Structure 1
Amino acid sequence: MPRFSVIVPAYKVQAYLHECLSSVLEQSYADLEVIAVDDRSPDACGAIIDEFAARDSRVRPLHLPGNVGLGRARNAGLAQATGDYLLFLDGDDTLTPGALEDIADRLKAASDPDVLVFDYARAYWTGRTVRNKLADLLTERGPAPFRLDDRPGLLSLLMVVWNKAYRRDFVEREGFAFPPGYYEDVPWTFPVLLTADTIATLDRVCVHYRQRRRGSILGSTSDRHFDVFDQYDRVFAFLDAHPELARWRPELFRRMVDHLATVFVRRGRLPRGSQAEFLRRARAHYRRHHVPGAPLRPRHLLIRFGSHRTYRLLSLTSRLARRTRRAATGTGRRLAHAALRAHYRIQLRLPLRADRAVFTGAGGGRYGCNPAALESTFRNLVPHIRTAWIAEPEHHHTIPVATRRLRPGSAACWTALARSKYLVHNADFGPHVVKRPGQIMIQTLRGTPLKRMGLDLRDRPAAARDADFARMLRSADTWDYVVSGNRHSTLVWERVFPSRFTTLEYGMPRNDVFSRATSADVARLRQALGIPEGSVAVLYAPTYRDYRRSQRPALDLERVLHELGPRFVLLTRAHPSYGEPLTRTTSGRLIDVTGHPSVESVCLASDALVTDFSSIMFDYANLDRPIVVYADDWEAYQAARGTCFDLRAFPPGATARSEDELIDIFTTGHWCGSHSANLRAAFRARFCPCDDGRAAERIVRRVVLGENAWQPSVVPLADRHPAPSAATGLPPVWLATIPAPGRPVPDVEIL
């Protein structure tokens, strides 16, 4: 008996069915069956279903002798289902990666409720996806499971069948089934939610609801839209048969009236000349199911009186009122912006404050990266200079207490930008910031470049997209200093941002912590992340792919962990541009650390790094811990983005081109062997010559205290003692226990 039965009816969706079925069968959670129902489709749907069934035994094809419609096709699949839970997926929609695993986890956490409601996003044919606007109703805060009485707002969600998982024995016990006709979800969804004793929610997009350019049922013109009346008659007949649910009648009446009005006002649904008949039947339904005391709205008046002219007059009045409010709001915003611009211009004419410094990171985000390391050093080394950090309010808690907090766009922020002597950023302050004479701009950027940057992107349209290179160079012209970690970075920055700035080849400030951290710090961080004692923690941190629409990696994390054995733990950290984690698991041996505020802390807690083209490898090399490069798309990445040097010719450790190669590198011990250590040593010598824990101090002394100020000399690599890996505290034989049974143990070095 599988955990899930996914029922997929198919009729005239041959162009989308392959993607639909693949999205189910390629889920990381494999305990499922797919009941694919060919509703006597005149196209190739039946053949596609048979092809999938021949390749995957989990697909159970069902060919109906005649076309029966969406509802009855679902009933046919329902009769064949054997899973604990039922999911319905239309043949042109898709499950998002990892959806079933998250659904299974939530069901377990909520003690197997009758119904689990999850979220969806509309996927437009242009490639744009828009999440459900009522996603807040799916919060997982509060007790679970619950009854609909505890969360009646769920009735405001789109009444469809495919955004829920249903316990099969609950459906069979209550005898739920789909009726024929359009809008067949209505008499299924309402009774299910009203009857369920236990309901839970999952605040996660699990379905991409395809918005077809043409050909969808709701976008077609047909008199079958009149079926909506019969469907609501079935809903109220259900209420009549269950008097204990009578309290829900006012809410369902309101939903009915809203739905009838929507069908009427949406252009293209009703055939020409049928509007009057539709309003007549709508008026009769209003009277038949009317609940005394129900609130009146413009749409209700349309249905109650059946007068389109009255409705148009009320709608026009409502639209005019909304436009008036929007105009007033827009005028207020414009006045506020004008006032801020005037305020900024005034501040630009006032004297600079030599004892002020402003810091921020990309996007007004949390306190971190090179600017944060410099801000801390400013406070410690030159305490007479007051520092401020610009961040959105939700990130203010990450800023040290001694540092002033500024909100982007506020009057205080513009004052600080206009009058502070020192401005420190790792990206760009924006086109409206004026660099004044006497101000000093420090550009830290964000690490050692591997991928192409700046002007090197002119022949890479996939990566550059709509980049404004002229503005990029104008911004570079405002930089007084650019921080560099090595000679490679110096040469790249001066080539791709040709300007008159001074390069400070002093090391990366954010890497200072690697030399200052202790074994106790590493142990504390590992405990905070939930890394089991005695395990080997591997950090997986891939970079962004400009040429991909989906950033989900092809790497099967569960399989990798299974092959590596119980001693390994996998920490996953998604690139900030991903928008979602690589995995939603935050316990056990697969731990997502995307949301952790400090990537440096995550590096310290790990024992090895797996990455691809990310600059994190240059920072991690300072720890002198194993690095494995895993990139199964060398050619595609080079064509879309390109790199500044050939990583294959000068890697920081072992290199894998496939998932099997990656597993083999770990199971044979090559990841920490002598050859990998030699590669890492050469890599570290080339790219970490100045990262000795005092880079930020050298920069502050040079910029603030003057060119002749004493600057600490760079500690040679051989004399550096970065924070030790937790693996060094394990018995010397630990490496010998890692290879899989039957695999040879190579000559390896103890970390």
Structure 2
Amino acid sequence: MPRFSVIVPVHRVQAYLHECLDSVLAQSFTDFEVIAVDDHSPDASGAILDAYAAADPRITVVHLERNIGLGPARNTGTARARGDYLLFLDSDDTLVPGALRAIAERLEHTGDPDLLLFGHARTYWDGRVVRDEYHGLLAPGSGPEVCTLAERPELLRASAFPWNKTYRRDFVRRERLTFPPGWYEDTPWTFPALMTARSLATLDRVCVHYRQRRAGSILSTTSRRHFDVFAQYDRLFGFLDARPELERWRGALYGRMADHFAVIHASAVRLPPTARAVFFRRARAHCRRYRTPAGALTPRASARLRLRRALVRLGAHRVFRAFARAGAVHRPLLVRLRTARRRARTAVLRLHHGLQRLRPLDARLAVFSAYWNRGYSCNPAAIEAKVRELAPHIRTVWVCPERYAHTLPPGVRRLEPGSAGHWGALARARFLVSNVNLPHGHRKRPGQTLLQTHHGTPLKHMGLDLRTYPAGADGMDFRRLLEHTDRWDLSLSANPHSTLVWERAYPSPYTTLEFGYPRNDVFQHATAADVLRIRAALGVPETATAVLYAPTHRDYRRGWLPDLDLARLARDLGPGFVLLVRPHYFHADPAGPATGSPPAEELPEGLLDVSAHPSVEELCLAADVLVTDYSSLMFDYANLDRPLVLHVPDWEAYRAARGTYFDITAAPPGPVVRTTDELTELLASGAHAAPHTRELRAAFRERFCPWDDGHAAERVVRHVFLGEPVSALPTPVPPTERHPAPAACPAHRHGATAQPPAEESAGTRQPPPAEPQPPSAAPVPTS
């Protein structure tokens, strides 16, 4: 007897069926059966099912001789089910990786309740993933772990789908629950199941991705068959009449019914125009037939909801339509009003900015920002901290919105982007520091110093070098780009390679400061105690090997999709490893989780989502190993002299789409792998820290880290803010004489000798390291 029976009704879904079945068969929890019911589908769905069943004995296929509809097809699958629990999955939807394991663990933790509700997310054709609006009902602490509906009546407000729940099979049999025929078969199934379950539990985790099809679904079909909803509510209230002990729920179900009727009537596509008035009359009749007796329990509702229900109950079709039309007119009007208000505000701010420019410059004011105002980070943050230490007479202000205020150190004043204070500071500050460009509306004044710090050593093409790479340029205005670079007074460089790239990619009359990257100073100053403190705050055990996975952005993709099977990697490496997952800053947000990344509750054991951590430098200090692809983070992490692994599954595609200044796979900072299996074997065997990898890192540091000695911020502040000549600044300490922060794991510390594996796999063999170029030599372009 399997733990789960996954029942998949199938009809006209040949384009989506492979993805649906693959999402089930790839689950890490394997104690399940799949019962696929071919509802006499006229396309290739039946043949697809047979092919899957031939390849996997867990799949049973039932071919129906005639089309009976979604509900009866589910009943057919239920009759053949052998599992402890039933799961219904529509054949154009998918299970999220790890969903079955999470459900199984929650069932065990809550004592195998009759019914478990879990989360889902809508997925759209344009790549958007939007979580169900009622997911707050599933959150821990929102009610008892195990309850009845009487203890948590608000669960009746949850989305009434059968596939966002799992049901004990003996509970379904005991209550004789079945799906009726028709288009709205979910209604007479879901509510009786909730009302009759003797024990309910919730799981605050997205387990199903609910596909929102552009065409072909019931909800996007114009037909009088939507009148089927009336028969389904007849069945639901008939069930209620036969169970007097459930009478208390009549008021709540009455409200759900009126809301349902209103949603169908308000839809622009479901009802033919000639059927709208008839539908509303039928809705009024149903509301009168099943009206709630005086004094019955009726859940609270908003004034807007009460008005809508009253209009349905009264059958006021024309008034209802008038309100709908008024809303349709009101929304564009609001848009126009907001646009006018925004333009007026912009005009006032420009006037304010112009007036502030007439005032003298404030020689003691410095404005800092980073990553388009996404919080306190990168080179500007390291410089700002050093200004407060070495030049306390300078007042520093940081530009970021309220949502990033928590990233600011105590005592640092915040400016709201676009505010009068922000524009006033831009107009009067003596010093402007950023790692990206300032607002286009700002014009630098004579006497102001704009320091462009950049935010990484360039492997990929940048600036004007993107002109022949449309995927990387993505509509970039190169003329405007040059307008911005012409405002730079100083350009900070981390190494000779960066100097040559910046001067070619951004050809403007600025002065280059070859001082190193201030954000990397911490690597030379942090102590072993600092490393352990950071790891403890992240939840990384002291004895575990922490692997930081930090891939870069792909210009030829939308959103973030890991090229590694992170769940399998964490599982195969075992409890001795912890994976820290950090997407590119386009997708990682210091104020929230990564865009497109799994919610924290979906992550398996041994895997931590650190996308919201404000300091990537702290993550580097916590990590014993960095796994990246083409991210500039590799150039920074090399300063720690800890193992680096390049995972480059799409090197050819990335290079073709973005362009690179050199072949990183020819002279890498560590081993190069292409698959999850190769990476797993490399890490598990210890080959990532073998002696020859230290030689690769040494050559890499010599070429790309000549000035990152822990004094870069000091050099910047003393020269830019205090006016000291370059000749008076600290001379860079050679890489071989530095002592970076030690790794927590002894085998990965600077100078430690790791035991090489007995036999190196084919996926981890490397060619001999390329002869390092002297720091002043330019890399040879190979694109």
Mark yes or no: TM-score above 0.5: yes
Q: Which segments of 5 or more consecutive residues in structure 2 lack a partner in the other structure? A: 588-594, 766-783
SS in 2 for 1:209: strand
- The TM-score, its normalising length taken from structure 1, stands at 0.91
- Measured in 1, the distance between the counterparts of 2:493 and 2:112 equals 55
* 1:453-464 equivalences in 2 (<5 Å): 453-464=462-473
* One-letter amino acid of the counterpart of residue 352, structure 1: L
Q: Distance in 1 between matches of 2:552 and 2:527?
A: 28
Name the CA distance, whole Å, in 1 between partners of 2:251 and 2:606: 50
Match of 2:241 in 1: 240
Q: How far, CA to CA, are the matches of 1:108 and 1:741 in structure 2?
A: 42
Equivalents in 2 of 1:722, 1:694: separation in Å?
13
Alignment of 1:232-271 (within 5 A): 232-271=233-272
Secondary structure of 1:375's partner? helix
* Deviation for aligned residue 1:407: 2.0
Distance 1:416 1:487, change over 3 A: same
**1:614 equivalent in structure 2:** 631
Checking the alignment, whether the CA contact within 8 Å between 2:524 and 2:738 is kept in structure 1 is: yes
- Going from structure 1 to structure 2, the CA distance change for 1:303 and 1:572 (only over 3 Å counts) comes to closer
Partner of 1:717: 735
Aligned counterparts, 1:327-366, within 5 A? 332-366=341-375
Secondary structure of the corresponding residue to residue 162 of structure 1: helix
Larger displacement relative to structure 2 (684-693 or 78-87) = 78-87
1:15-63 deviations in Å (ceiling 9; x for gaps): 2211222233234444433222111111111101111222233322222
Q: 5 Å matches for 1:698-709? A: 698-708=715-725
Q: Are 1:639 and 2:639 an aligned pair?
A: no
Matched position secondary structure for 1:609: strand
The alpha-carbon distance between structure 1 residues 716 and 316, as it changes in their structure 2 partners (threshold 3 A), is: closer
Report the aligned-residue RMSD: 3.2
The one-letter amino acid paired with 1:279 is F
Q: Does 1:225 align with 2:234?
A: no
Task: Determine if the alignment matches structure 1 residue 450 to structure 2 residue 438.
Answer: no
C-alpha distance in 2, partners of 1:151/1:442? 58
Change beyond 3 A, Cα 1:553–1:215? same
Q: Is the 8 A contact 2:690 2:756 kept in 1?
A: no
How far apart are 1:660 and its partner, in Å? Answer: 3.0
- What residue is the counterpart of 2:318 in the other structure? 309
> For the structure 1 residues 107 and 529, does the alpha-carbon distance in structure 2 shift closer, same or farther, using more than 3 Å as the test?
farther
Instruction: Name the CA shift for 1:13/1:495 in 2 (closer, same or farther; >3 Å).
Output: same
Work out the CA distance in 2 between the residues paired with 1:206 and 1:279. 36
Q: Distance in 2 between matches of 1:671 and 1:464?
A: 35
Q: 2:443 corresponds to which residue?
A: 434
**How far apart, in 1, do the equivalents of 2:259 and 2:631 lie?**
51
Q: Which moved more, 1:724-733 or 1:119-128?
A: 724-733
Amino acid at match of 1:648: T
Q: Would you say the 8 A contact 2:367–2:425 is kept in 1?
A: yes
Aligned equivalents of 1:425 and 1:172: distance in 2? Answer: 66
Q: Distance in 2 between matches of 1:375 and 1:85?
A: 58
Query: Letter of the aligned partner of 1:223 in structure 2?
Result: R
Instruction: Return the alpha-carbon distance in structure 1 between the equivalents of residues 760 and 84 of structure 2.
Output: 36
Distance in 2 (alpha carbons) for counterparts of 1:116 and 1:436:
64
Structure 1 residues 499, 645: closer, same or farther in 2, change over 3 A?
same
Write the distance in 1 (CA, Å) between the matches of 2:201 and 2:464. Answer: 51
Distance 1:2 1:530, change over 3 A: farther
What secondary structure is seen at the aligned counterpart in 2 of 1:726? coil
2:670 pairs with one of 610, 631, 653:
653
Instruction: Note if 1:727 corresponds to 2:745.
Output: yes
Query: SS state of the match for residue 645, structure 2?
Result: strand
Paired AA for residue 743 in structure 2: S
One-letter amino acid of the structure 2 residue matched with residue 726 of structure 1: A
Aligned partner of 2:519 in structure 1 is: 510
CA shift at 1:302, angstroms? 4.6
2:713 maps to what in 1?
A: 696
Give the deviation of 1:10 after TM superposition.
0.8
Q: Is the 8 A contact 2:36 2:49 kept in 1?
A: yes
Q: Among residues 479, 489, 501, which one is paired with 2:498 in the alignment?
A: 489
1:79 to 2:86 alignment = no
Q: Return the alpha-carbon distance in structure 2 between the equivalents of residues 344 and 554 of structure 1.
A: 46
Q: How does 1:206-605 map to 2 (within 5 A)?
A: 206-271=207-272, 273-291=274-292, 297=306, 299-316=308-325, 332-549=341-558, 551-564=560-573, 566-578=575-587, 579-581=595-597, 584=600, 588-605=605-622
Please report how far the alpha carbon of residue 503 of structure 1 lies from its aligned counterpart in structure 2 after TM superposition: 1.6
8 A Cα contact 2:550 2:584, kept in partner: yes
Equivalent pairs, count: 745
**Structure 1 contact 572–583 (Cα < 8 Å) conserved:** no
8 Å Cα contact 1:669-1:739 kept in structure 2 = no
Deviations 1:641-664 (A, max 9, x none): 232210111100111122333233
Which residue is equivalent to 1:664? 681
1:189 correspondence with 2:190: yes
Q: Secondary structure at the match of 2:219?
A: coil
Q: Secondary structure at the match of 1:636?
A: helix
Query: Residue 6 of structure 1: SS of its match in structure 2?
Result: strand
1:54-109 per-residue CA deviation (whole Å, 9 max, x = no partner) reads 22333222222321100011112222333444332222223344444554555566
Q: Does 1:92 align with 2:92?
A: yes
Answer yes or no: is the 8 Å Cα contact 1:666–1:739 preserved in 2: no
Report the 3-state secondary structure (helix = DSSP H, G, I; strand = E; otherwise coil) of the residue aligned with 1:429.
coil
| Displacement after TM superposition at 1:222 (Å) | 2.9
Deviation at 1:490, TM superposition (A): 1.1
Whether the 8 Å contact between 2:748 and 2:754 is mirrored in structure 1 is: no
- Whether contact under 8 Å (2:374, 2:404) holds in the other structure is yes
| Secondary structure of 2:218's aligned partner | coil
Amino acid paired to 1:287: R
Distance 2:649 2:738 in 1: 34
After superposition, give the CA deviation of every residue in 1:642-688 in whole Å (9 maximum; x if it has no partner). Answer: 32210111100111122333233334433112221111110011011
Change (3 A) 1:209 1:729: closer
Q: Is the 8 A contact 1:359 1:424 kept in 2?
A: yes
How many Å separate the matches in 2 of 1:152 and 1:300?
Answer: 20
Would you say the 8 A contact 1:485–1:690 is kept in 2?
yes
The structural deviation recorded for 1:380 is: 0.4
Residue of structure 1 in register with 2:20 after alignment: 20
CA distance in structure 2 between the partners assigned to 1:103 and 1:416 by the alignment: 53
Aligned-pair identity in percent equals: 55
Q: How far off its partner does 1:382 sit?
A: 0.6
Letter in 1 for 2:615: S
Q: Say if 2:264 and 2:270, in contact at 8 Å, map to a contact too.
A: yes
Post-superposition Cα deviations, 1:572-596, rounded to whole Å, max 9, x if no partner, equal: 2222333144684678533332232
Does the CA-based 8 Å contact 2:24-2:95 persist in structure 1? Answer: yes
One-letter identity of the residue aligned with 1:546: D
Q: Is the 8 A contact 1:71 1:184 kept in 2?
A: yes
Aligned to 2:172: 171
- For residues 246 and 503 of structure 1, do their structure 2 counterparts lie closer, same or farther at Cα, with a shift above 3 Å needed? farther
- What is the alpha-carbon distance in structure 2 between the residues aligned to residue 431 and residue 202 of structure 1? 47
Distance 1:640 1:448 in 2: 19
Q: Distance in 2 between matches of 1:652 and 1:442?
A: 30
Residue 199 of structure 1 and its aligned partner are, at CA, apart by: 4.2
- In structure 2, what is the Cα distance between the partners aligned to 1:544 and 1:354? 39
Query: What's the CA shift for 1:561?
Result: 4.3
Q: 1:98 to 1:338 in 2, by over 3 A?
A: farther
Matched residue type, 1:92 = D
**Does structure 2 retain, via aligned residues, the 8 Å contact 1:123–1:130?**
yes
Q: Which residue of 1 aligns with 2:781?
A: none
Gaps of 5+ in 1: 747-751
Query: 1:511-558: CA deviations, max 9, x gaps?
Result: 100000111112222222232333322222222222234633242334
- Are residues 93 and 668 of structure 1, via their aligned partners in 2, closer, same or farther at CA, if it must alter by over 3 Å? closer
What CA deviation, in whole Å up to 9, does each residue of 1:446-473 have, x standing for no partner? 1111122222222222232232222222
Specify the code of the residue in structure 1 equivalent to 2:411: A
One-letter amino acid of the structure 2 residue matched with residue 728 of structure 1: P
